[in-house]
Structure 1
């Protein structure tokens, strides 16, 4: 399996979580190509690290045990990467890119039926064209577009959160329910129209400070959500419903929000049927400023004592036909999804049904008992 990083930047401050067989979850620093266990009583969890002052300095300077090389990571009894968040909420923002926003409208108009999608896509494109490119949500121009679409009976709840003043932010999964690099990511068994969503994920602490970024796959069940927005919970939160990783890159003198704003994500999907698909998502085209999405998520109106990780949405919306003309793309079990970004590494996962993925059993109570047994609390 390709490594999470081909050549980690020597100056990058990279941290994450690794399952150490016989021990449990460890907070780690990636130093060169060696993994160093920096778990301590002061910072036993990722949550504690991000709540501490200057987490990047702590990761660079913390003493620890070098226990594994990057090339030795795996699954099946070997040390393996977990998703970086532990006690943090896992949140996601949707419809943050104009191009993928149009696909959301199509999903809704098609009521989750991929056979109807092409005809609706052609009609929507004839009305909207490029009018959504560069639009600022909540602006006067956005309201003009809203009036046009309402007149054409194409207004949608997705356009409301896409170009209206309020962002869509939802709970993607429970703390520690996300999977990490190399793990299986799950599709709800009732879904037959779905796709990967390559995204940047921000790490935010309890004060609302954005401290770093990583990669995520916010798997999208197009048919379930397209039938009704009230099915969002079923579409978004199931066993192994998203992947985050490989590591969290903390902000420091070498990496900042400016780098997030210019990130270029590449997607590759390869199937057991020899199907391949390439995709791309450019953060330069995001319609909402990431800091604004964070501000709409946390504040006096809503607190997160343990912080949260936030998916920022994606430009990618696949329409490439897989099985037959006009049918578009959907996953098949066994698909390998690879999401890469030059400064954040590579997130790689295999697609299964959520009922085929390992059950999630290690929750907050198990973590607390494990840390207490290791005299870390």
Structure 2
């Protein structure tokens, strides 16, 4: 894996320390500092503080080495739920409609994309979800037989918010990411992920890969959980960059993400891009649709904001589109948030997830942290 480089900022993450367990780390002068303590045994506790940036800047800790010293990175969250928003960009919205129309068949998708994809994309790119104009477009598309459940959550009043991964099941930078073995059409999804506390306050952001099985979800939206939540199918990291004077929600609104997939077996290279400037819904609105009087998250949550990226580049056969191959290297990079890099394997070949909440609590108790 490539070395991690991070800009100046307020950083919060987790690494696995051999013989100890998960450690909460921050970045100071190019080195990682373990700040795990009884006052803050979890990332959740730090995000609940009135001023997590101030606490991190003065917290006592142990320097455990340079940032690029080959640490065993964990996902930078711990007790937070991992939620995700779908169909938040017009471009990816069109691809979801195509998946549905093709019933998960990538060969049919090429024909459908040529027939209706551009038309739908052109008509939806500047529409505000839930607006009167959106309702009028919906009525017109229904008359033409082009309406879809994906368009409903794309331009309708209610966003799609789903559970991406179980608490503590996400993997970090450098880890293997998993594909369910039943899938033959799948792709990475480069996304900005917000760190939100129990009060609904957005504390910072990180990078995420919302690994997606296009054929499974395309067969039926009711298979969303099977398409999204599998062993090692969610990657986050490398660290959460907390909001401060130099990095705010306004910064997040302008982030540009680059994706590179490099094939181990065939040397294939896929380059993609996702621009937060083209998101259809405001990040704060997506947070408000996730947490409130209707639904509480006492330990906070991580929220994937969706992606503009939807790969159509052919990898093997003309019209066949893109799908992963085992051994692919996936890199998601953003100047403000660093680089998240993972290797693709089958979920059944990735290390099993065994470090759940009960084991985590026992570990913290044994270390005298709770």
Q: Deviations over 1:243-286 (max 9, x none)?
A: 00000000011110000000000000000110001000000000
Matched with 1:65 is 62
2:111 matched residue in structure 1: 119
Residue 226 of structure 1: which of 199, 218, 228 is its match? Answer: 218
**Retained in 1: the 8 A contact 2:75–2:172?**
yes
- What residue is the counterpart of 2:2 in the other structure? 2
> Contact 1:4–1:181 (CA<8 Å) still a contact in 2?
no
Corresponding position of 1:201: 193
Of 327, 346, 349, the residue aligned with 1:353 is 346
How far apart are residue 68 of structure 1 and its match?
1.9
Structure 2 partner of 1:264: 256
Which whole-Å CA distance do the structure 1 matches of 2:148 and 2:3 have between them?
41
Q: Matched residue of 1:214: which SS?
A: strand
Q: Distance between the aligned counterparts of 2:137 and 2:112, measured in 1? A: 18
Residues 3-82 of structure 1 aligned to structure 2 (within 5 Å): 3-5=3-5, 8-10=6-8, 12-73=9-70, 79-82=71-74
Equivalence map 1:267-278=2 (5 Å): 267-272=259-264, 273-278=266-271
Equivalent in 326, 329, 337 of residue 336 of structure 1? 329
> Which residue is equivalent to 1:76?
none
Q: Is the 8 A contact 2:94 2:121 kept in 1?
A: no
Native 8 Å contact 1:15 1:27 kept in 2: yes
The answer to whether the Cα contact below 8 Å between 2:315 and 2:322 also exists between their aligned partners in 1 is yes
The CA deviation string for residues 11-52 of structure 1, in whole angstroms up to 9 with x for no partner, is: x00110010010000000011321100001000000111111
CA contact (8 A) 1:18 1:27 kept: yes
What TM-score do the two structures reach when normalised by structure 1?
0.97
Superposition deviation, residue 129 in structure 1: 4.8
Q: Superposition pairs for residues 100-139 of structure 1, below 5 Å?
A: 100-125=92-117, 127-139=119-131
Structure 1 gap ranges (5+): 74-78
Contact residue 180 and residue 347 of structure 2 kept, 8 A: yes
Deviation at 1:4, TM superposition (A): 2.3
| Gaps in structure 2 of 5+ consecutive residues | none
Mapping for residues 138-287 of structure 1, pairs under 5 Å: 138-272=130-264, 273-287=266-280
**Count of paired positions:** 369
3-state SS of paired residue (2:122): coil
Give the drift of 1:130: 0.9
Checking the alignment, whether the CA contact within 8 Å between 2:7 and 2:335 is kept in structure 1 is no
Structure 1's consecutive aligned runs of 4 or more residues displaced over 4 angstroms after TM superposition are none
TM-score for both structures, normalised by structure 2: 0.98
Contact 1:96 1:288 in 2 (8 A): yes
* Whole-Å separation in 2 of the counterparts to 1:67 and 1:29: 10
Q: Aligned partners of 1:173, 1:137: CA distance in 2, in Å? A: 26
Match of 1:355, SS? Answer: coil
Distance in 1 of aligned mates of 2:340 and 2:135: 38
Q: SS state of the match for residue 298, structure 2?
A: coil
Q: Distance in 1 between matches of 2:144 and 2:185?
A: 27
Q: Deviations over 1:298-337 (max 9, x none)?
A: 0000000000000000000000000010000000010000
* CA apart distance, 1:126: 5.5
For residues 220-254 of structure 1, the C-alpha deviation after alignment (integer angstroms, 9 at most, x for no partner) is 10000000011011111110011000000000111
- Provide the residue aligned with 2:362 in structure 1: 369
Q: Retained in 1: the 8 A contact 2:95–2:117?
A: no
SS across alignment from 1:130: helix
Say whether the 8 Å CA contact 1:319–1:329 is kept in structure 2.
yes
